[in-house]
Structure 1
Amino acid sequence: MSTYAIGDIQGCFDELKALLELIQFGDQDKLWFCGDLVNRGPKSLETLRFIRGLGSQAVTVLGNHDLHLLAVHHGFAKAKRSDTLDAILTAPDRNELLAWLQQQPLIYTDTQLGFTMTHAGIPPAWSIKKAHRLAKECQNALRENPTNYFAHMYGNQPNTWSDSLQGPERLRVITNYFTRMRFCTPQSELEFASKGGLESQPDGFYPWFSLREQRFPNDKLVFGHWAALEGHTGTQQIHALDTGCVWGGALRALRLEDLSQTDIPSQQLNR
């Protein structure tokens, strides 16, 4: 049995199928998906249906594009010009698919493998135990009162964690850490403008994983979200899986048992 962690699919379903064929994905294997299952690519609906259909063979965490889809569905956001969500929003099984998506977590840990997965990362201010506790606050709000959650989800403030935060501001910054983070300060202050690679690092800010490695050197993490890294973090224990399939890069699977990598080239630029 093998466990494969896979980077952001973003509707690149044909590449996902080709990748699973290449790794010879079987009935005893398990897939981890790092979030952003949907949007920008051509087959978000097929992607959602397939992953939901895998049942217990697959686990996924929510990414910012997945949350955006849910916010549009609940009427708290408008689809952007670059979105490719219409097929999901008009599908006959839309409600079932989005109800399933809304139940997915922001963080997943397998204690036997020793790996934790999130979409964007975990800030240096939080242990994995604390990250799970805070993620549960958001997950409960999302499942029990999505109207209130999505009404306040968007925004860049507050941009620094404090245990004293309450209400919508508390949920917003937790969500932003898990789904939007790239650069931060040693105090976990977030910076949202820089979306390039490590060369775009703003003064006083650092890649979150470099700070986290210093504080929690034994934590093993996998994450997506940051395509400009091209799969490289320069750390031993923290693995970037978004290799920019939707932008013409590749879709990557990392076998967690031995850290072997398998990439399938994107088909997006050939369409």
Structure 2
Amino acid sequence: MATYAIGDIQGCREPLERLLERIRFDPAADRIWFVGDLVNRGPDSLGVLRLVRNQLGERAVTVLGNHDIHLMSVWSGHGRLKDADTLRGTLDAEDADELIEWLRFRPLMHVDEGLGYAMAHAGLPPAWSVAEAQLRARELESALRGAIPFDDFMDNVYGNRPNEWSDELSGYDRLRFITNAFVRMRFTDSEGRLLLRYKGHPGKAPADHFPWFEVRRRLRASPDPLTVVTGHWSVLGFHRGEGVLSIDTGCQWGGTLTAVCLDDGAERVYSVDCTER
């Protein structure tokens, strides 16, 4: 039995199938963690959703990413397709409603204390402990699953403010920060405030832009008890550091699709080339 984490797929079904063959995935025994962004930019988002939902089923754990939420937004009539989007085939599919409803019920965060890992698409902001992040994830999951009208949520979730966490935040300001932290964050300032505009490499970042995991490590009173597995940051690429394992290796841009074995102590890495883009 093995548990593998796989980076952002973003509609690249064929590389995912090759990667599952590469790791010799056994659906009777193994489990797969997907770090989010199953869809968009690649050529077959519909095929990826069907594979993960219908074929892998309960053997797969998927957290939501920003492109997954974008698909939900367009489906609900509040978002618009962008020039680079490749979601039309998914939206027009006969099982689109069923697949997107399934997405709505994916978590924002997954924790396995026995393995020693937590998973979130973008990461965990410095303001939250792992336990606090789990509580915030449940808030957002409840909103996505119907605690508030879905149309209202999608009409208010986008925006860069507030960029600083406070327990006093309420309403859509609170949900917007939680959303940005889990699915959009890459950089914070030195005090842990989210900086969402710059998306490039840390080596070329503007002044006072620091990778979230560096600021988290510095501001937290004690080290995280779990390693946080993330995707979202293809420019950063594969990054293994203290308390973080980032595995988005840019399949949708012609890079690679990466899997890491989480339960062998060595974090063995597997990858396949992505030639579709």
Q: TM-score, normalised by structure 1?
A: 0.96
Runs of 4+ more than 4 Å apart? none
Distance 1:232 1:3 in 2: 19
* % identical equivalent positions: 47
Distance 1:98 1:195 in 2: 27
Quote the RMSD (CA, aligned, Å).
Answer: 1.1
Residue by residue over 1:200-256, the C-alpha shift from the partner in whole angstroms, topping out at 9 and shown as x without a partner, is 2221221001122332524311000000111125x1331011000001110000100
Distance 1:157 1:108 in 2: 25
Tell me, yes or no, if structure 1 residue 224 matches structure 2 residue 224.
no
* Cα distance, 1:183–1:209 mapped onto 2, change above 3 Å: same
Shift of 1:125: 0.8
Amino acid at match of 1:248: G
Structure 1 counterpart of 2:9: 9
Distance 2:175 2:48 in 1: 28
Residue by residue over 1:126-181, the C-alpha shift from the partner in whole angstroms, topping out at 9 and shown as x without a partner, is 00110011111111111113112111011111111111111011100100000000
Q: Is the 1:125–1:187 contact (alpha carbons within 8 Å) kept by the matching residues of 2? A: no
Distance 1:198 1:206 in 2: 7
Distance 2:144 2:191 in 1: 27
Residue by residue over 1:46-84, the C-alpha shift from the partner in whole angstroms, topping out at 9 and shown as x without a partner, is 000010011110000000000000000001111111100
Distance 1:111 1:50 in 2: 27
Structure 2 counterpart of 1:55: 57
Q: Is the 2:113–2:226 contact (alpha carbons within 8 Å) kept by the matching residues of 1? A: no
Distance 2:122 2:129 in 1: 15
Distance 1:251 1:201 in 2: 25
Distance 2:204 2:52 in 1: 34
Segments of 5+ residues of structure 1 without an aligned counterpart are none
Amino acid at match of 2:269: Q
Tell me, yes or no, if structure 1 residue 256 matches structure 2 residue 262.
yes
Distance 2:247 2:59 in 1: 19
Distance 1:265 1:19 in 2: 9
Distance 1:191 1:268 in 2: 32
Q: Is the 2:191–2:215 contact (alpha carbons within 8 Å) kept by the matching residues of 1? A: no
Paired residues in the alignment total 268
Structure 1 counterpart of 2:242: 236
Mapping of residues 1-271 of structure 1, within 5 Å? 1-27=1-27, 28-53=29-54, 54-144=56-146, 145-214=149-218, 215=220, 216-217=222-223, 218-233=225-240, 235-258=241-264, 259-269=267-277
Distance 1:219 1:185 in 2: 23
Shift of 1:188: 2.0
Distance 2:13 2:202 in 1: 29
Q: Is the 1:138–1:174 contact (alpha carbons within 8 Å) kept by the matching residues of 2? A: yes
Distance 1:209 1:42 in 2: 32
Q: Is the 1:122–1:178 contact (alpha carbons within 8 Å) kept by the matching residues of 2? A: yes
Q: TM-score, normalised by structure 2?
A: 0.94
